[in-house]
Amino acid sequence: MLLIIPLALAMLPSLLILAFTSKMKTKLLLTAIMGGGGWFIALIARMPILVLFSKGFQENYVIVAVASSILAGVFEEPARYLLLKHVLKGGGNVDVNALVSFGLGWGLMEALVIYVFQAAYAGLALNIDWVKLVPGALERNIATLCHVALSFIVAYVIIKGLRLIFIPISLHALANLYATFLLQITENPWLIEGFLALALTPTSIALIVFSWKTIASSQFSP
């Protein structure tokens, strides 16, 4: 039963923030669901390419990991752009709660598919100690914060022009490449999560603040 601890750690913080942010309004909950759907569509879209890389470089994990990191940005951020442009109706009236809800939905779907299902299997079928699953649960919260930040950046791109789409694509890929780099220098999951938190948490918060200030000034300037 202790397996519920890492599973809750992976999902509950974001679910609580979503409940608070959305105030359980149907429109914002649907926005979160749309975000989750966007992540899943982007995953399915890049799977054929990932399979080709995996088959072509079976003995080189690093190349596959780098390719996966880059493809995540290439596929997810255009998908995020298209969906958010629909949510924000072209960027004419950007709602901060909609951006947060969308990003949380995106991150929650990723946490569910990438972590929860696999952690549940590892704990129940493979008898992996629940404590060993905690670092991965904490990582999901960092990743979800990054997805919220990327949603704000994509909203900024919607306001400023599609030519800037390379910004969220690059940031997403760099965050994934950083995690891949950490995996190459240490196998200690607590060290990996610590360095991820130190680098990505303040960066994500700074990007959210910068993006929102820019968006707000664009919306409300005379």
7-48 pLDDT tens trace: 999 999 999 999 999 999 999 999 999 999 999 999 999 999
> Would you state the pLDDT for residue 94?
80
Where does the pLDDT of residue 53 fall: very low under 50, low under 70, confident under 90, or very high at 90 and above?
confident
Do the Cβ atoms of 172 and 73 come closer than 8 Å? yes
Query: Coil, strand, or helix at residue 116?
Result: helix
Query: Which pLDDT band, with edges at 50, 70 and 90, does 91 fall under?
Result: low
Encode pLDDT of 59-70 as tens digits. 788 888 899 999
Give the distance from CA 87 to its chain's centroid.
18
* Span 167-208, pLDDT tens digits: 999 999 999 999 999 999 998 999 999 999 999 999 999 999
| Residue with more model confidence, 218 or 112 | 112
- C-beta separation of 158 from 84 below 8 A: yes
Q: Answer yes or no: is pLDDT of 222 > 60.
A: no
Tell me 93's DSSP state. Answer: S
Reported pTM: 0.95
Q: Over the stretch 136-171, which tens digit does the pLDDT of each residue have? A: 999 999 999 999 999 999 999 999 999 999 999 999
Confidence of residue 217 (pLDDT cuts 50, 70, 90): confident
As a whole number of angstroms, the distance between CA 84 and CA 91 comes to 9
Q: Quick one: pLDDT at residue 191?
A: 96
Tally Cβ neighbours within 10 Å of residue 127: 7
